[in-house]
Amino acid sequence: MKKTNYKYELHHLNGNTYYIDGPTNCGLYKLNDTDVCLIDCGTKEDGMIIYELLKNNNLRLKYIILTHSHADHSGGCIYLEKMTGCTIIASKVERAFLTDTKLDIGFLYGGYPLDEYDNHLMHTDEPSDILSLSHIPQGLRSFSLPGHHYQMIGIRTADDVYFVADTLGSKNLVDSQHILLIYDVDGYLRSLDYVESLDGKIIVPAHSDVTMDIKDVVKVNRNQINMIIDIILTFLEIEHTAEELTAYIFEYYDLKITYNKYMLISTTMRSYLSYLSNSGKIKNYFKNNKLVFLTVEAFNDKF
Ligand SMILES: [Zn+2]
């Protein structure tokens, strides 16, 4: 998951477009000689480092565009807003998630969360005021990147650089985590196709190296999804509940269970089950008041 030695340096990409490396790669677009717009701002700790970086480069932060509400992208915005008075911008649904820390945990858990869940897992604080995408400054354009979170966006700069947030993870991230958080599997696959179609452009993923050759890392991510689908389809040759599938995945990948890990994997498994059922690859039905899932072949043999 971790790249070695984050330097938090400002790297020039093209024209007025830069990025700051870190656990979450953040974009920086120069609006003029002094004013800049950030694309994501990392965690609170990252935000503090980025503030110093901007100060040392005599850059004035005017805007932060948040690709989505997760804490590793948005956690620094309260600090940066407080220090600079910058304007924060996000999509409609992500704004809602950002303004209530319980909302995302309730969304992932599927009900009022247990006290054991970490409310700060996905968010840190509540920003005061977040504006809509119609306030994105000139030179930048948002585009939809469904899949990872409810209404995640990417940003294209006038210099033809694409910031694609959490559309994909690095090979290391995929190999070490196995299951990346997905809300909408169909949307995720479409976003991967879109990012692949940008091959040859400068692409900045949040958690993978900046590249003009994105094809290989797209392939790693797509293959992993297809592998998870195969694992699920094999498991569902016998009927199982979503809860049983989650337990199986923990066992399969030998993952250490924690409340937060359980929440992230169980919500992602439910998304996979919906995708497979909605696309006709598995059947779902009630048995003994439990919702169970079974492959179409096994279902046809059985009924
Ligand atoms: Zn995320």
Report the 3 state secondary structure along the chain.
CCCCCCCCCEEEEECCEEEECCCCCEEEEECCCCEEEEECCCCHHHHHHHHHHHHHCCCEEEEEECCCCCHHHHCCHHHHHHHHCCEEECCHHHHHHHHCHHHHHHHHHCCCCCCCCCCCCCCCCCCCCEECHHHCCCCEEEEECCCCCCCCEEEEECCCEEEEECCCCCHHHHHHHCCCCCCCHHHHHHHHHHHHHCECEEEEECCCCCECCCHHHHHHHHHHHHHHHHHHHHHCCCCECHHHHHHHHHHHCCCCCCHHHHHHHHHHHHHHHHHHHHCCCEEEEEECCEEEEEEHHHHHHHC
Question: What's this model's pTM, rounded to 2 decimal places?
Answer: 0.95
Length of the chain: 303
CATH architecture of 236-302: Orthogonal Bundle (1.10)
Measured CA to CA in angstroms, residue 134 lies from 65, 81, 88, 125, 128 at distances of 11, 19, 12, 24, 18
Residue 123's pLDDT is 64
Cα(86) to ligand 1 centroid in Å equals: 22
Identify the pLDDT of residue 3: 46
pLDDT for res 105: 85
Separation of CA 152 and ligand 1 centre (Å): 8
CA distance linking residue 36 with residue 99, whole number of Å: 24
CB atoms within 5 A of ion ligand 1 belong to: 70, 166
Q: How far is the CA of 43 from the centre of ligand 1 (A)?
A: 12
Q: How far is the CA of 289 from the centre of ligand 1 (A)?
A: 34
CA of 70 to the centre of ligand 1 (A): 5
Distance 72 CA to ligand 1 centre (A): 7
- What ranges do the domains of the chain cover? 10-221, 236-302
With bands split at pLDDT 50, 70 and 90, how would you rate the model's confidence at 16? very high
The rounded Å distance from CA 67 to ligand 1 centre is: 9
Crossing angle between the packed helical segments 101-109 and 259-278, to the nearest 10 degrees: 60
CA of 232 to the centre of ligand 1 (A): 23
**pLDDT given for residue 1 in this prediction:** 39
How far is the centre of ligand 1, averaged over its atoms, from the C-alpha of 301 (Å)? 40
Gap between the Cα atoms of 96 and 41, Å rounded: 18
Q: Which of 119, 149, 153 is nearest to 136 (CA)?
A: 153
Amino acid at 250: F
Instruction: Give the distance (Å) from ligand 1 centre to CA of residue 298.
Output: 36
State the average pLDDT over residues 73-77: 94
Residue 207: pLDDT over 50: yes
How many angstroms does the Cα of residue 288 sit away from the middle of ligand 1?
36
CATH of domain 10-221: 3.60.15.10
- Output the CA 128–ligand 1 centroid distance in Å: 21
Do 113 and 102 contact (CB within 8 A), yes or no?
yes
pLDDT per residue over 17-51, tens digit each?
Answer: 999 999 999 999 999 999 999 999 999 999 999 99
